Amino acid sequence: MRPLSPTPKTPAARSEQIILFRVSGQIFAVSSASVQEVRGVDSLSGAAKEISHPGLRKVKHFVRRGENSVYVVNAAMHFGLPPAPPALVFVLRRTRTALLIDGIEKMTSMTRLQALPLAFCHEERDWYRGLTALDQTVVPVVKPDGFLTPEELFLLDASLSQEAEAKREAERNAQDEPDTSITQ
Amino acid sequence: MTLITETEPQSFVLLRLGDRRFAVSANQIAELVAPSRIFRFPHHTSEVEGVILRRGRIVPVCDVAEKLIGKGLKSRRFYLIAQRRYGAQTEWVALPVTGDCELINAEMTLPSDTDAPHVSGWLSHAGDVIEVLNLAALTPGPGEIALTAAPLPPQEARP
């Protein structure tokens, strides 16, 4: 009797877990491993502080996380989509970005990520890791660090520093002012 | 005296955009397919309408009619899938066309200095003088990157 020969196995395609999410009716994907937290926008309202920079309208809030400030990016404004009321926030791992989105469509996996065709030659090359085909549709897979460029982070950090300095200055001035209240 | 430089007869695909016909070298053409669903997502490359899925590949759709005939196409009959070179790399692009395409053999007259960059030559066919298109000048691409980019194989998803 001959021993059974091992059945040749085709190597299983590697897959990556992704979250499909909605922004103004458009579906995007992000790697599950890139999402540190998913929170409701209401849960942010206590912790988030306002920030405004004229050149960065997509960022209106930030959250302090230890030593760092995490900036809350409105995904609809980032992608130039019509505004829609966001319901969820993705806190993105290894970035200083929290992303406002409309909702999660589903979690699934992809086995193939096609590089963005070279015909796309503007900012979108920084936005997307590539495209994936799922159920006969094409979904762009976002780069977690593509929502804020290093230059934008620099501007936001500088804006926060200026605000903090202005606040300290105002407090010093208030302490230095003579008490002009009239007592009778 | 005008010097006309003609090359050996080559194969060209004639495509129709509105009332006009243009030619592309046949060795740059992958196939002619019926229009299929275009998938759109946010981007800033205005020449690209979106992408189609073809034989498992994701192919950008570039409407070149605006550049060639001054107006975009309202209807399209086929997509001509062409191979666009980016330096050492070749990718498919889908060009919407409004009518049947035709394969011909013809001698190409080389372009002159005054021709537009998208003209790689001229054909005389059936009484018409037809522009041979230079796809690299007609369809978008990151020019500087294209010259240095190494071929990128399709990426496997990382676990």
Q: Domain map of chain B by residue range?
A: 11-105
pLDDT tens digits along B55-101: 899 999 999 999 999 988 888 899 999 999 999 999 999 999 999 99
- Point out the residue among A112, A121, A136 whose CB comes nearest to the CB of B140: A121
Chain B residues whose C-beta is within 8 A of a chain A C-beta are: 39, 41-45, 47-48, 51, 53, 56-60, 62, 84, 86, 89, 91, 93, 139-143, 145-146, 149, 152, 154-159
Whether B89 sits inside 8 A of A26 (CB atoms) is no
Residue to mutate among A17, A118, A124, A131, with most B CBs inside 10 A, is A118
ipTM: 0.85
Class for the domain spanning A35-147 = mainly beta
CA–CA min distance A126, chain B (Å) = 10
pLDDT tens digits along A10-34: 666 789 999 999 999 999 999 999 9
In the predicted structure, residue B147 carries a pLDDT above the cut 50: no
Confidence of residue B158 (pLDDT cuts 50, 70, 90): very low
pLDDT tens digits along A19-73: 999 999 999 999 999 999 999 999 887 889 999 888 899 999 999 988 889 999 9
How far is Cα A147 from Cα A123, in angstroms, rounded to an integer? 10
In the predicted structure, residue B118 carries a pLDDT above the cut 70: yes
Q: Domain map of chain A by residue range?
A: 35-147
Taking the mean position of all CA atoms in its chain, how far away is CA A88?
11
Chain A residues whose C-beta is within 8 A of a chain B C-beta are: 13-16, 26, 28, 79-81, 109-115, 117-125, 127, 130-133, 136-140
Residue to mutate among B44, B86, B138, with most A CBs inside 10 A, is B44
The label of the residue with tokens 């018409």 reads B128
Predicted pLDDT at A5: 56
How far is Cα B18 from Cα B72, in angstroms, rounded to an integer? 10
CATH 1.10.150.20 for domain B11-105: no
